């Protein structure tokens, strides 16, 4: 199985446990690695047979902007389920970064893998 990836997809979302976080939007960064059979698309040079990076990134951005979560764990799980369902991806690794969340750290985050590779 091939891996299609999107690195450092920047989205703006309202996410956090604390009251002050719930009233503002914050930057999040997604790293997405998705299992997908690229052979048909490569053989035919047909985008309709490929996992469309642009469509995936638009959908993740739209989802993150319109849904509010307290935990980044919940956001990561929801995005993984969304991509697997809507784009017929059998396996995904989602790394979600929340920069600036800890004063002495560049970023914090979670990484999850779902499905079968």
Q: Is there a catalytic annotation at residue 98? A: yes
Condensed to tens digits (0 to 9), the pLDDT of residues 20-50 reads 778 888 999 999 999 999 999 999 999 999 9
Answer whether 79's CB lies under 8 Å from 30's CB. yes
- Output the pTM of the full model: 0.92
What is the pLDDT, as a whole number, of residue 76?
Answer: 98
Half-sphere exposure of 112 (CA within 13 A, CB side): 15
- 22, 39, 98, 104: the catalytic one is 98
Condensed to tens digits (0 to 9), the pLDDT of residues 47-74 reads 999 999 999 999 999 999 999 999 999 9
Q: Tell me the CA distances in angstroms from 30 to 7, 13, 44, 69, 109, one per residue in order.
A: 7, 12, 30, 15, 10
CA distance 117 to 99: 29
Mean pLDDT value across the chain: 94
The model's confidence at residue 19, banded by pLDDT at 50, 70 and 90, is confident
CA distance 62 to 71: 18
Answer whether 38's CB lies under 8 Å from 68's CB. no
DSSP label at 63?
A: H
């Amino acid at each position: 199985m091939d891996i299609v990836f999107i690195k450092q997809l920047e989205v703006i979302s309202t996410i956090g446990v604390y009251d002050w976080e719930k009233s503002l939007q914050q930057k999040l960064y997604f790293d997405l690695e998705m299992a997908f059979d690229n052979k048909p698309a490569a053989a035919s040079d047909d985008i309709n047979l490929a996992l469309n990076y642009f469509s995936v990134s638009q959908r993740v951005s739209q989802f993150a902007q319109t849904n509010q979560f307290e935990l980044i764990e919940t956001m990561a799980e929801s995005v993984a389920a969304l991509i697997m369902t809507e784009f017929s991806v059998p396996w995904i690794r989602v790394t979600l970064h929340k920069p600036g969340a800890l004063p002495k750290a560049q970023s914090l985050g979670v990484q999850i893998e779902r499905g079968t590779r």
